[in-house]
Amino acid sequence: MLEVSNLFAGIPEALSEELFQDLLKTPHFRLERIVSHGQASPPGFWYDEPTHEWVALLSGRAALRFADRDDLFVLKPGDHLLIPAGWRHRVEWTDAEEKTVWLALHFP
Amino acid sequence: MLEVSNLFAGIPEALSEELFQDLLKTPHFRLERIVSHGQASPPGFWYDEPTHEWVALLSGRAALRFADRDDLFVLKPGDHLLIPAGWRHRVEWTDAEEKTVWLALHFP
């Protein structure tokens, strides 16, 4: 019944693609673990989500770019931010050495 | 508008009490950061919450005890679990050296 998992465990050694896993899902939100290993959004691709997304980076490094901003948001472990629905953004790069583990909480 | 905060920042050097801070609050959930530094639940005290609580430990160490279980759940960074509503539990101890940072997501 009570089951302890670890956010840094259960990650394949080689990640040819980003790993997306729901940790919790209710009608009102979805909590997701994302693991990246050097991946980035494809050139020209922008996430344009209908829901808000609170995102926290727990390990590794990554850079987020927003469509209406010039500056890059370089994230280190512990960094978190709220990306409002409809704010177009992309992952410019993620750490090629260490795996980047994210928590993402999606809600309307 | 876009503001990056850090889960390990903004913590007073000395914590005479645990620190509880809401990161996000909607009608459907509340996401909270908790920082402990050696604190534990008072003797004989049990949390008995009307909402479910997903909890993740991000730094430090802690031990949770549940009213109907003999074993202690010792948590290390990255460990997470879902505590169902009404499951009486207490924090038996938290790390006295390093600060223990938790994320707690409360939802009905």
* Residue range B5-16, pLDDT digits in tens: 999 999 999 999
Structure tokens at B20: 């509880």
DSSP assignment letter at A56: E
Q: Which residue of A has its CA nearest to B58?
A: A58
pTM of the model: 0.95
Helix, strand or coil for residue B21? strand
Q: Mean pLDDT throughout B22-27?
A: 98
* Rounded-to-integer distance, Cα A81 and Cα A104, Å: 10
Annotate B54-83 with three-state secondary structure: EEEEEECCEEEEECCCCCEEEECCCEEEEE
Fill in the DSSP letter of residue A8. Answer: T
- Could you tell me whether strands B5-6 and A79-83 are parallel, antiparallel, or unpaired per DSSP bridges? antiparallel
Rounded to an integer, the average pLDDT of B56-68 is 97
What ipTM goes with this model? 0.94
Contact pairs from chain A to chain B, CB under 8 Å: 89
Closest chain B C-alpha to A84 CA, distance in angstroms: 9
Q: Please, what is the average pLDDT of chain B?
A: 96
Residues of chain A with pLDDT under 50: none
Residue B10 and residue B27: Cα distance in Å, rounded?
A: 26
B68 contact partners, CB below 8 Å, separation of at least 6? B87, B88
Is B8 within 8 Å of chain A by CB? yes
Partners of A7 on chain B (C-beta within 8 Å) are 56, 78-80
Q: How far is CA B40 from the centre of its chain?
A: 11
Contact between A102 and A77 under an 8 Å Cβ cutoff? The reply is no
pLDDT, residue B68, reads 86
A80: closest CA of chain B, how far (Å): 5
Cβ contacts of B65 on chain A, cutoff 8 Å: none
Residues 6 or more apart whose Cβ sits within 8 Å of residue B81: A2, A3, A4, A5, B54, B55, B73
